[in-house]
Amino acid sequence: MAKAPAPFPQRILPDVRASKIPASIGIIMDGNGRWARRFGWERVRGHTAGIDSVRDTARAAAELGIKELTLYAFSVENWKRPRREVTYLMELLRKFAIDERAEIEKNGIVFRTLGRIDELPEKTKSALRESERLSADNDGMVLRLALNYGGRTEIADAAKQLARDAVAGRIDAESIDEAALAERLYDPSMRDVDLVVRTASEMRVSNFLLWQISYAEIVVTDVLWPDFRREHLYAAVREFASRERRFGGLVKG
């Protein structure tokens, strides 16, 4: 009798136990400018090249059985960049939202944004909203784009909502706990992140998902985002699988 096919992760990473595959990964996609400058090109070419990395990484993550992949695409601090670069990024994001619809549909991916989307240029905002709407009923991996996102902004916005709810009598101030705040984050359905990957060597968090990464394992790679491909994701997952997570407790045995 033919042997039943192994589940996806076993076929792709036979050396990693299925229970060691992270459910949720966040990626700080960094180094686009440095990548372009290496060739003497203007920085924005690195952003365009990074789209191929997004495509390959998202596909690989879905095949691995990752439940949620969150990509940091534009921080609330990134508005400080030259206007030309910001405008370029906003147009690239609009185009990405439209161009990837077929691929998202084909893979059953649920596409979501995370951040202050209402503050984005109208065309970018509407393209993103439409892609979210079209993929809302899919049942595959959740692919989130953190856009005009700041971890502090997200927590402050949740605190504001808590205050509103307390004033309106919807919640008793004394009952406010972690769960009450988490329910008011941008996407209350988002699970804690298990693994944060940062490309381009920088050893910092840069305001990414502060609440959700409390106990995430962090992997920093030298690879610049436009060079990042599925094998780099596999390497990060292998590294994650080799870590001992204690969550403040003690090792068994």
List residues with catalytic annotation: 30, 78
Q: Which residues, including other chains, have CB under 8 Å from residue 236's CB and lie 6 or more apart? A: 25, 195, 197, 219, 221
Binding site for ligand IPE (CB under 6 A): 28-34, 72-75, 78, 89, 200, 202, 204, 206
Q: Return the one option of ligand IPE, Mg ion, none that residue 228 interacts with (CB less than 5 to 8 A, by type).
A: none
Our CB check for ligand IPE shows the closer of 32 and 113 to be 32
Specify the amino acid at residue 159. A
Residue 107 interacting entry, from ligand IPE, Mg ion, none, C-beta within 5 to 8 Å by type: none
Q: Which of 209, 84, 99 is CA-nearest to residue 145?
A: 209
Residue 248 β-bridge partners: none
Task: Tell me the two tokens of residue 198.
Answer: 């940062």
Bridge partners of residue 145, in order along the sequence? 71, 113
For residue 173, the minimal CB distance to Mg ion (Å) is 40
Residue closest to ligand IPE when measured from CB atoms: 33
Q: Which of Mg ion, ligand IPE, none is residue 131 near (CB under 5 to 8 Å by kind)? A: none
The CA distance from 67 to 60, in Å, is 12
State the nearest-atom distance from the C-beta of 94 to ligand IPE, in Å.
15
Output the smallest distance, CB 167 to ligand IPE, in A. 34
Cα(47)–Cα(90) distance, integer angstroms: 11
For residue 145, the partner it binds in ligand IPE, Mg ion, none, with Cβ less than 5 to 8 A by kind, is none
Residue nearer to ligand IPE on the CB measure, 170 or 204: 204
C-alpha span between 200 and 222 (Å, rounded): 5
Q: State in angstroms the smallest separation of the CB of 97 from ligand IPE.
A: 16
